[in-house]
Amino acid sequence: MFDRLSRRNFLQQTGIWAAAAAAGSLPRLAHAAREKELNIFCWEGYNSDEVLDPFRREFDATVRAEGLISDPDAINRLRAGEDNVWDLLNVNNPWAREILYPEKLIKPIPRDRFEPYFEKMLPQFHPPYHWAMDDGGTELLGMVQRFGPFSFVVNTDKISREMAEDQGFKLFLDPAMKDRYGVLTYDNWNIYHMCITADIDPFVKHTPEQIAAVGETARQIFNGAKLLTDDLAQMNLALINGEIDAYFTGGTYTASPARFDGATNVRGITPKSGPINGKGGIVWIEVTSVVNNPQVSPLAEEFLSYINRPEVSKAVAFAEGTYNPVTQMGNPEVMALFDEDELDAIQWDTLEEEMERSVDYDINPDYAEMYSLYAAAKRAREG
Amino acid sequence: MAAERSGDHVSWYRQAGMLCAMPVTIFFIVGFVGPLLMVLAYSFMPPRSFSLFQAPTLANYKAIIADSYYISFLWSFGLACVTVILLFAICYPIAYGMTKLFGRWANLITALIAVPLLISENIRLFGWVLVLVKQGVIDGGLQALFGVELSGMLYTVPAILLGLVYVYLPFMLFPLVIGLSMVPDSLKEAAFDLGANRWQVFREVELPLAMPGILIGGILTFVLALGSLAEAKILGGKAIIMIVDDIENAFTFGQNWPRGSALSVLLIVLSGLIVLFLFRRIDLDRIIGRR
């Protein structure tokens, strides 16, 4: 048919193909109801089959989940139009209240349905919980579950916990530590921790001198580091094999896989003191919110209820990848599901004390300027 | 239709070939050129903005030039050049053997080199980590056998080069094999008969005739190494920062799409110029054997 192609039969052909293509996409055009599908964009753990399969069976739903690798990246993708794709977004605490809700990228959830869950959580998460509420304190923006202190990690065979907690981040400026530590390049966290190293509160407006001091600290930290990587498995391997004795930026989240594997000398450390009202540790708390998707799935809210069930809370805490405490551990039914090794992997014995020494993760108003200095220090590193 | 058949000249948009190619061409423009144009447009938007509808500015390019990005560009281009040179030195003898000497064994070698390509690059590089890491295959083995302790081999520039050479070897080797198989033995014999020595035969006969294969292998490995990230991350522990790492970070942690776009444009333009310059010297028709 194509050997004697003329414009007319070419146009017929393309017409047929175009019609077929349009027919294929009709369901999308017809605003298909999404009762049976749910798309989740989340930190690893919520995307594990252990968590999702029972939900799929119970609600007879197609659930797709994609793991994200950085909060800012996820926010970017939502801004770029993926708010039409996702139903649920799981990121760290400040984003929902300070960025996502003001930018209309997420929408509130009913307080009467979800606040009772907060009442069963660990005491510091009882309602109204700051990070789950909007600025006005009237709208509930999501559900909290995983959290953890996040400062740095040492090999306790080489550096005692006591000494690491006393020295805090100054440990990394000690000339004796040169080439004995790595930097886990979660850039936004690194900058917070470099502020603390420079005795500066990361969460307030800074003077030009302070910003320059953070840049100088970044230079010192990078020049003394043996390796940089954003892969926690690689970092733990280097720590266990003796390539390094500590790493800058890390906590329960990054130490737990190694600890659960038997390497209990890998330990997340929270400094005893620091520049943030006397505190030197930071704790992250994930908030899972319903995306402001024009065709949001009704299953989104069902999922937020579902993750509060004791066995699901446990599965989320111990999903593949990393292991973390969950706010639902305030509920004795949830606590009963953890065994001794699991509690040791997430450093449960010192969790309360570490939380007391920490402030909540927040947004750094001078992040952009500090980031330029940070990136320049990384590039100019004396490798 | 008579009008179309009567004239020898059918206007270009009415030619059957053109019409057949049109759907694919449109798809290509929308799917491939479109995003590149977006990146180009973003590179002229004000820093840290997320919209394309603002007054264009050169701020991003000025900031990049004023900042220390030249370090990443130099490392990326430098490592790419060294990788190409090392690969040429390693692959040329192997390719020569495969085309002229090994006979039946050549297929086995091809298979051995091609099979690892089926495994993810990251996994293969992590395999090297286990070989090079302290207490790893080399260090642990030497300690157990001879009591020798080595200092760290990982997280250095040589480790990155090892990774680049290892990962991109097939991309140099196979074009070289094609290039060298285009050198007729009779020509070399004739050159020897006319009194040329080995070096002259290599320089005057082999190299010019195999040049298309060498250039294709060189361009492939150069561009791949220039855009590589995993080797510097996994084996190098970011001992140096590759430009691609800077681009990725500008888009993600830096929350600065315009700067990331401007860096991408610079990288595309710089590497594009090099590739164009080299491609002007290749005669693709001859490689395919049409002439």
Residue A134 · residue A141 · CB < 8 Å: yes
User: Is a pLDDT exceeding 70 seen at residue A3?
Assistant: no
Residue A116 · residue A96 · CB < 8 Å: no
Chain-wide mean pLDDT for chain B?
89
Residues of B in contact with A8 (CB under 8 A): 1
Q: What is the DSSP string of B255-272?
A: --HHHHHHHHHHHHHHHH
Decide the pairing of beta strands A143-155 and A246-251. antiparallel
Comparing A29-147+286-348 with A148-282+361-382, is the CATH topology the same? yes
**Taking residues B16-22, what's their average pLDDT?**
88
Residue A198 · residue A220 · CB < 8 Å: no
Query: What are the Cα distances from residue B278, in Å, to B91, B210, B215, B224, B271?
Result: 20, 15, 7, 16, 11
Instruction: Name the residue facing B134 among A187, A242, A381 (closest C-beta).
Output: A242
Compute the residue count for chain B: 291
Compute the residue count for chain A: 383
pLDDT band at B289 (very low <50, low <70, confident <90, very high): low
Residue A332, judged by CB atoms within 10 A of its CB (0-12, 13-18, 19+), counts as exposed
Q: Choose from A68, A222, A226, A228 for mutation: most chain B CBs within 10 A.
A: A228
**B189 domain residue, yes or no:** yes
In eight-state DSSP terms, residue A101 is T
- Taking the mean position of all CA atoms in its chain, how far away is CA B142? 35
Is there a contact between B238 and A380 if contact means CB atoms under 8 Å apart?
Answer: no
pLDDT at B253: 85
Measured CA to CA, the distance from residue B134 to residue B136 in angstroms comes to 5
Residue A102 · residue A309 · CB < 8 Å: no
B239 touches chain A (CB under 8 A): yes
A310-316: long-range contacts, CB 8 A cutoff, minimum separation 24: A310/A334, A310/A336, A310/A337, A311/A337, A312/A51, A312/A54, A313/A145, A313/A337, A314/A338, A315/A48, A315/A50, A315/A51, A316/A45, A316/A46, A316/A51, A316/A145, A316/A146
Measured CA to CA, the distance from residue A57 to residue A38 in angstroms comes to 13
**B12 domain residue, yes or no:** no
Decide the pairing of beta strands A281-291 and A143-155. antiparallel
Residue type, B139: D
Measured CA to CA, the distance from residue B187 to residue B174 in angstroms comes to 23
pLDDT band at A5 (very low <50, low <70, confident <90, very high): very low
Considering only CA atoms, which of A123, A117, A60, A126 is closest in space to residue A305? A117
High-pLDDT (> 70) share of chain A, %? 91
Instruction: Name the residue facing B14 among A7, A72, A80 (closest C-beta).
Output: A7
Considering only CA atoms, which of A190, A312, A299 is closest in space to residue A254? A190
Is there a contact between A227 and B154 if contact means CB atoms under 8 Å apart?
Answer: yes
A365 touches chain B (CB under 8 A): no
Considering only CA atoms, which of B178, B27, B24 is closest in space to residue B110? B178
**Taking residues A353-368, what's their average pLDDT?**
94
Write out pLDDT tens, residues A282-301.
999 999 999 999 999 999 99
Considering only CA atoms, which of A68, A149, A131, A66 is closest in space to residue A95? A131
Please check whether the domain covering A29-147+286-348 is classified as CATH 3.40.190.10: yes
Please list the alpha-helical segments (H only) found in A86-201: 93-95, 111-119, 161-167, 187-197
Q: Which two tokens stand for residue A348?
A: 């449960």
If one compares B282 and B56, the residue with the highest pLDDT of the two is B56
Chain-wide mean pLDDT for chain A?
91
Measured CA to CA, the distance from residue A266 to residue A262 in angstroms comes to 9
Strand partners, B104: none
**B11 domain residue, yes or no:** no
Among A119-133, B65-79, B139-153, whose mean pLDDT is lowest? B139-153
**Taking residues A54-72, what's their average pLDDT?**
92
Measured CA to CA, the distance from residue A137 to residue A129 in angstroms comes to 9
Q: What residues 73-132 of chain B have any CB closer than 8 A to a CB of chain A? A: 126, 129
pLDDT at A1: 39
Residue ranges making up the domain that contains B117: 69-288
pLDDT at B1: 47
Measured CA to CA, the distance from residue B238 to residue B186 in angstroms comes to 50
Q: How many domains does chain B have?
A: 1
Query: What are the Cα distances from residue A121, in Å, to A305, A309, A332?
Result: 14, 12, 10
Instruction: Name the residue facing B240 among A229, A375, A383 (closest C-beta).
Output: A383
Measured CA to CA, the distance from residue A60 to residue B218 in angstroms comes to 53
User: Is a pLDDT exceeding 60 seen at residue A359?
Assistant: yes
How many CB atoms sit inside 10 A of residue B201's CB?
Answer: 19
**DSSP SS3 for B46:** coil
Residue A46 · residue A40 · CB < 8 Å: yes
Measured CA to CA, the distance from residue B271 to residue B80 in angstroms comes to 11
Residues of B in contact with A182 (CB under 8 A): 237
CA distance A113 to chain B (A): 35
Measured CA to CA, the distance from residue B193 to residue B207 in angstroms comes to 18
Q: Which two tokens stand for residue B12?
A: 């270009």
**DSSP SS3 for A321:** coil
CATH H-level superfamily of A148-282+361-382: Periplasmic binding protein-like II (3.40.190.10)
CA distance A266 to chain B (A): 17
CA distance A132 to chain B (A): 24
Write out pLDDT tens, residues A320-348.
889 999 999 999 999 999 999 999 999 99
Measured CA to CA, the distance from residue B165 to residue B221 in angstroms comes to 9
**B41 domain residue, yes or no:** no
* Beta-carbon-side half-sphere exposure of residue A325 (alpha carbons within 13 Å): 27
Decide the pairing of beta strands A181-184 and A246-251. parallel
**B44 domain residue, yes or no:** no
In eight-state DSSP terms, residue B43 is T
Query: What are the Cα distances from residue A232, in Å, to A120, A146, A257, B227?
Result: 32, 18, 9, 23
* Beta-carbon-side half-sphere exposure of residue A201 (alpha carbons within 13 Å): 13
pLDDT at B252: 84
Residue A201 · residue A185 · CB < 8 Å: no
**DSSP SS3 for A182:** strand
Residue A250 · residue A269 · CB < 8 Å: no
pLDDT band at B46 (very low <50, low <70, confident <90, very high): very high
Q: What is the DSSP string of A248-297?
A: EEEEHHHHHHHHHTT-TTEEEE--S--SBTTB-EEEEEEEEEEE--TT--
In eight-state DSSP terms, residue A168 is G
**Taking residues A225-249, what's their average pLDDT?**
95
For chain A, domain boundaries = 29-147+286-348, 148-282+361-382
Q: How far apart are the first and last CA of chain A?
A: 64
**B20 domain residue, yes or no:** no
Considering only CA atoms, which of A105, A91, A123 is closest in space to residue A288? A91
pLDDT at A46: 94
Measured CA to CA, the distance from residue A254 to residue A324 in angstroms comes to 9
Instruction: Name the residue facing B246 among A368, A375, A383 (closest C-beta).
Output: A375
Residue of B nearest to A224 (CA): B239
Residue A145 · residue A307 · CB < 8 Å: yes
In the block, which residue shows the tokens 């590739």? B275
Residue of A nearest to B242 (CA): A379
Q: Which two tokens stand for residue B91?
A: 């692959």
**Taking residues A5-31, what's their average pLDDT?**
50
pLDDT band at B243 (very low <50, low <70, confident <90, very high): very high
Cis ω for the linkage preceding A128 (within 30 of 0): yes
pLDDT at A360: 96
| Range list of β-strands (E), chain B | none
Q: Which two tokens stand for residue B113?
A: 């080199």
Can you give the CATH number for the domain in which B182 is found?
1.10.3720.10
Among A358-362, B18-22, B122-126, whose mean pLDDT is lowest? B18-22
pLDDT band at B67 (very low <50, low <70, confident <90, very high): very high
**Taking residues A184-202, what's their average pLDDT?**
96
Residue of A nearest to B20 (CA): A10
Measured CA to CA, the distance from residue A284 to residue A95 in angstroms comes to 11
